[in-house]
Amino acid sequence: MVRKGLPGLSAQIKDKLIQQALERRLRQASDQGRNLDPPTHSSGGGPDTPEQHYRFHLHPGYQQIRIISEGAARLGIDSPFFKLHEGIAGAGTRIDGRDYINFASYNYLALSGHPEVSAAAKEAIDSYGTSVSASRLVSGERPVHRELEQAIARAYASDDAITFVSGHAANVTTIGHLFAAQDLIVHDELIHNSVVQGITLSGARRLSFPHNDPEALDAILSQQRQHFQRVLIVLEGIYSMDGDHPDLPRFVAIKNRHRAFLMVDEAHSFGVMGGTGLGIREHFGLASADVDIWMGTLSKALAGCGGYIAGEAALVEHLKFLAPGFLYSVGMPPAIAAASLAALQVMQREPGRVATLRARGQYFLAKASAVGVDTGNSAGFAVIPAITGSSIKAARLAAALFARGINVQPILYPAVPEKSARLRFFISCEHSEQQIQQSVDALAEELGRL
């Protein structure tokens, strides 16, 4: 353990030693979680049952949280998480009575808080209440649900769409229900946790391929396709940690060659990519049917909460009658469905929001690159990382920017590999060039100090 005042050690060396100690403790906690003593088979557990089997504070996951928190406290770093925003969070926000330039919100098109969107939500509450109070299949269906789903289907030029109360659950229940042990699911190595959880639920064989590498995927399927019944390929439209996107036409060609299904998670690309915000399909000029399962969320550009699946009628009908996450869940609150429907309508009526978002993202990327910020492979649409290569550096950088009135979240180990620790900037169409220039200048200055 490194203590303050040790002679001959610079602050950088102290930080490195503390970080190495933290990583060792995290690995030990993880190993303990995997290698716990086997459970006893005596009736009722008995006195020999290890305490970690029945105490939450000894759970290895909680132990990891405590190790990280204690390490941050030792370094004098305040927690950057669970900041209390006191109003609408968009290009700006208010925290503890102070105004900040905000880069920690998915409110890409500034539609959360838009008067028309808020009015639609209020009207839905007056008409239908705050809850539909039942699964949609049995008694929870409301007109606004179908209106939203039909609008999403039109946006994708698909047969139909289905909405879920959670974007995470949309992936978990769709993948978990449609695929099984005799199937193979192959995904980009940076795919979202919800996809991995869905694959685990399905029992299908899971393989990953290197990020955005269609040749590697093709090689895997050339070797493995014959051994499985159904095969699903899963990609993201924009990868939420890196801000880059796949060359989708190449993946479409591979899925056709190997007779597989293709699923694209558009959580961060719908409302962002394409001339009018219709996503990666519009960006590449693809037909809707080129992708079998279109997935997206309502919580980003569409100012609501929940997820959706769009595709052919057989897919959507199947999910509506049998997917557990839809069948056994209460229907989406009317206010949320109405808000997302109104947001979609505003987006389509005002394509300038998408154009401005794209311009601001490119502006931020260009300015950051010009001052030597490592932005990785970001394409500059709406997600731009500033890679620091150190969790300690990322946490300190976020704190320094926060002190200067700029709110941006660090992404730390073990959420990403240590060498990939970063700040993650989410861009809004309402960020001004002046705000971006001020923020990039501050970012460069504070990086220099670190």
Indicate the helix (H) or strand (E) that contains 188.
strand 184-188
CB 381 within 8 A of CB 273: yes
CB 109 within 8 A of CB 429: yes
Give one word for 179, left, alpha or beta, with left for phi > 0 and alpha for psi -120 to 50: beta
pLDDT of residue 413: 81
- Rounded CA-CA distance 375/268 in Å is 17
Positions annotated as catalytic residues are: 240, 268, 300
For residue 137, CA distances in Å to 98, 167, 350 come to 46, 19, 34
pLDDT of residue 164: 98
CB 375 within 8 A of CB 408: no
Alpha-carbon Rg for the chain, nearest whole angstrom, is 24
User: What's the count of helices (H) and strands (E) in the chain, helices before strands?
Assistant: 15, 13
| Other beta carbons less than 10 A from residue 154's beta carbon | 13
Mean per-residue pLDDT pooled into runs of 10, the chain (450 residues): 46 62 64 56 69 89 82 78 92 96 97 98 98 96 98 98 98 98 98 97 98 98 98 98 97 98 98 98 98 98 98 98 97 98 98 98 98 97 95 93 97 87 97 98 94
CB contact set of 228 (below 8 Å; sequence gap of 6+): 182, 183, 184, 205
Residue 288 is classified by DSSP as G
CB contact set of 404 (below 8 Å; sequence gap of 6+): 442, 446
CB 376 within 8 A of CB 243: yes
Q: Which two tokens stand for residue 338?
A: 């109405």
- Rounded CA-CA distance 375/384 in Å is 6
| Other beta carbons less than 10 A from residue 450's beta carbon | 14
pLDDT of residue 32: 62
Q: Which of 252, 271, 269 is nearest to 261 (CA)?
A: 252
pLDDT of residue 408: 97
pLDDT of residue 380: 96
Q: Which two tokens stand for residue 140?
A: 């929870």
- pTM for this one? 0.90
CB contact set of 71 (below 8 Å; sequence gap of 6+): 18, 19, 21, 22
- Rounded CA-CA distance 292/14 in Å is 52
- Rounded CA-CA distance 411/402 in Å is 15
Report the length, in residues, of the chain: 450
pLDDT of residue 365: 98
3-class state of residue 322 by DSSP:
helix
Residue 85 is classified by DSSP as B
pLDDT of residue 27: 64
Pair type for strands 261-265 and 205-209: unpaired
What residues are paired with 94 via a beta bridge?
99
For residue 241, CA distances in Å to 62, 84, 410, 424, 425 come to 24, 23, 11, 7, 10
DSSP H helical segments within 136-191, as ranges? 143-156, 167-178
Indicate the angle between helix axes 167-178 and 313-322, nearest 10 degrees.
100
pLDDT of residue 264: 98
